[in-house]
């Protein structure tokens, strides 16, 4: 009897284990069936996306073919006209003794359009071909935009000096980016271009305060000035505050020789009153006082770029926003020390349409909620590598009705819940670009939701 009892005691656990194993197996089979269904739905969504992409690609191919066919027809008509005019040209050649090419018989506006596709070095070579080409090259329309940056390896002082002296009344846009071989003899000729509106001398290490002063005094119509990566000091900012009354765009990115005192001049002059865009990326020497002077001297500022400035603090942002109430675009990439205090101040003061920040471990959902609730016009939001943003923060982002571009890559706390809020929120109506790369908590379920909701992405 004792032996039978022991056998019964041993049999019961086995039976329980068998029952448990059967239940587990049935549960596993059900899970496999569910997983198979989800996989099939994801595949169907991917197939729809591929079909959409192929359709879009086919439309682009047809449109490109239509353009090529149209150009081919125009070319054919041109050659027909050319053949018909050859007789007249030959008769004229016999009378004058001068030869003409096909380009010379075109209307001047078409010839100019053809030459605009060439580099300015090619213009110089073409001007030596014949008198007709030379007259076309010397047209003021052709030399209104000069991009010497593409020829920075071979351009010389004598060549630039000759170009600016010959065509100075026509020059409106001048790009000298990276032309490190140019010096005072040629750069001083820029001041003779009285109609110059846009000037780019970034990465020209020979540019000095004296050169900039002469250029500013000689170019009263200057609207765009790029001095990034140059050796200018406070004296240049002093001249800008005095003479650049119309200046709207100014880039001082990675200029490390000026100080806060340079922006103090902007508060006393009229040079910064119409400034709309300002780039101060990499200017780590600036302090709170410098941003306070910018706020006082540039009240019309709308676009501000302060990237690569790890020294930027909440106090700097608060000082900047004291009087700059017109900001619509703000870029703060690589500003790791900004907190929710700065974000709340931005939300209360600015009416942003574009906001960019990256590599910040201080901003939390509180700051994102404040920003989104006070910025209904926000169209572009770049919040990459902000690991303290969670699904609650993304839920606030989902309320933006005008959002078109969103980047939350490397936000590791965002999960499927946040993506679900995004796909069902007000922002789903106009969103065109979405970057969720390296968000480890986002699964295939979110991919399915995105594919289902944003077939236009």
pLDDT for position 332: 95
pLDDT for position 75: 60
pLDDT for position 100: 55
Query: Within 13 Å, how many C-alpha atoms sit on residue 58's CB side?
Result: 6
What is the distance between the alpha carbons of residues 448 and 442, in angstroms, rounded to a whole number? 11
Delineate the domains of the chain, giving CATH numbers in brackets. Answer: 332-457 (3.80.10.10)
Query: Within 13 Å, how many C-alpha atoms sit on residue 139's CB side?
Result: 17
Of residues 422, 325, 421, 328, the one with CA closest to residue 379: 328
pLDDT for position 411: 93
245-259 pLDDT, tens digit each: 899 999 999 999 999
131-147 pLDDT, tens digit each: 667 776 666 677 788 88
N-term to C-term CA, the chain: 76
Helix (H, G, I), strand (E, B) or coil at 402: coil
pLDDT for position 80: 59
Which residues, 6+ apart, have CB-to-CB distance to 13 below 8 Å? none
What is the distance between the alpha carbons of residues 364 and 270, in angstroms, rounded to a whole number? 40
Q: Which of 65-69, 342-346, 371-375, 378-382 has the lowest mean pLDDT?
A: 65-69
Place of tokens 């353009």: 67
Query: DSSP letters of 130-169?
Result: -HHHHHHHT-TTTTSEEE-GGGTTT--HHHHHHHHHHHTT
156-209 pLDDT, tens digit each: 888 888 888 878 888 889 998 988 888 888 888 888 888 899 999 999 888 889
pLDDT for position 448: 87
pLDDT for position 97: 47
C-beta of residue 258 within 8 angstroms of C-beta of residue 234: yes
422-432 pLDDT, tens digit each: 988 888 888 88
What does the buried/exposed string (b/e) look like for 333-350 if buried means 16 or more CB atoms within 10 Å of the residue's CB?
bbbeebbbebbbbbbebb
To the nearest whole number, what is the mean pLDDT of the chain? Answer: 83
84-138 pLDDT, tens digit each: 543 443 444 444 444 556 666 667 677 777 776 676 677 777 666 776 677 766 6
Query: Within 13 Å, how many C-alpha atoms sit on residue 151's CB side?
Result: 17
Label residue 282 by pLDDT band (50, 70, 90): very high
* Res 363 pLDDT > 90: yes
Q: Considering the entire predicted model, what is its pTM?
A: 0.73
401-412 pLDDT, tens digit each: 999 999 999 999
Label residue 9 by pLDDT band (50, 70, 90): low
* Beta strands at 303-305 and 277-279: parallel, antiparallel or unpaired: parallel
What is the distance between the alpha carbons of residues 357 and 376, in angstroms, rounded to a whole number? 18
């Amino acid at each position: 009897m004792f032996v039978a009892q022991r056998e019964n005691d041993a049999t019961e656990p086995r039976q329980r284990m068998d029952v448990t194993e059967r239940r587990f197996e049935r549960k596993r089979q059900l899970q496999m069936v569910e997983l198979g269904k989800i996989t099939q739905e994801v595949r169907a969504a991917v197939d729809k996306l591929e079909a959409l992409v192929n359709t879009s690609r086919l439309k682009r191919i047809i449109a490109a073919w239509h353009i090529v066919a149209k150009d081919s027809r125009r070319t054919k008509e041109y050659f027909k006209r050319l053949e018909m005019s050859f007789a007249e040209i030959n008769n004229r050649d016999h009378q004058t003794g001068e030869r003409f090419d096909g380009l010379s018989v075109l209307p001047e506006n078409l010839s100019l359009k053809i030459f605009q596709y060439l580099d300015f070095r090619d213009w110089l070579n073409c001007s030596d071909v014949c008198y007709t080409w030379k007259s076309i090259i010397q047209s003021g329309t052709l030399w209104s935009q000069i991009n010497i940056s593409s020829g920075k390896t071979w351009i010389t002082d004598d060549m630039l000096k000759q170009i600016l002296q010959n065509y100075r009344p026509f020059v409106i846009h001048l790009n000298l980016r990276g032309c490190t071989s140019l010096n005072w003899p040629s750069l001083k000729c820029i001041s003779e271009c009285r109609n110059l509106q846009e000037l780019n001398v970034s990465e020209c290490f020979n540019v000095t305060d004296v050169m900039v002063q002469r250029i500013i005094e000689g170019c009263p119509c200057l609207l765009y000035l790029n001095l990034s990566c140059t050796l200018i000091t406070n004296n240049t900012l002093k001249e800008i505050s005095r003479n650049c009354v119309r200046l709207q765009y100014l880039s001082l990115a990675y200029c490390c020789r000026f100080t806060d005192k340079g922006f103090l001049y902007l508060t006393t002059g009229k040079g910064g009153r119409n400034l709309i865009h300002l780039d101060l990326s990499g200017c780590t020497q600036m302090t709170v006082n410098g941003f306070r002077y910018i706020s006082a001297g540039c009240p019309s500022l709308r676009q501000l770029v302060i990237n690569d400035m790890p020294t930027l603090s909440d106090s700097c942002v608060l000082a900047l926003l004291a009087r700059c109430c017109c900001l619509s675009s703000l870029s703060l990439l690589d500003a790791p020390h900004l907190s929710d205090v700065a974000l709340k101040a931005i939300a209360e003061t600015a009416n942003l349409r574009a906001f960019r920040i990256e590599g910040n471990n201080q901003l939390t959902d509180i700051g994102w909620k404040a920003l989104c609730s006070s910025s209904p016009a926000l169209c572009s939001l770049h919040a990459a590598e902000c690991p303290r943003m969670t699904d609650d923060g993304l839920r606030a982002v989902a309320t933006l009705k005008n959002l078109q571009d969103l980047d939350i890559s490397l936000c590791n706390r965002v999960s499927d819940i946040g993506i679900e809020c995004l796909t069902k929120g007000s922002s789903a109506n106009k969103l065109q670009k979405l970057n969720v790369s390296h968000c480890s908590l986002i699964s295939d379920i979110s991919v399915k939701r995105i594919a289902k909701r944003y077939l236009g992405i």
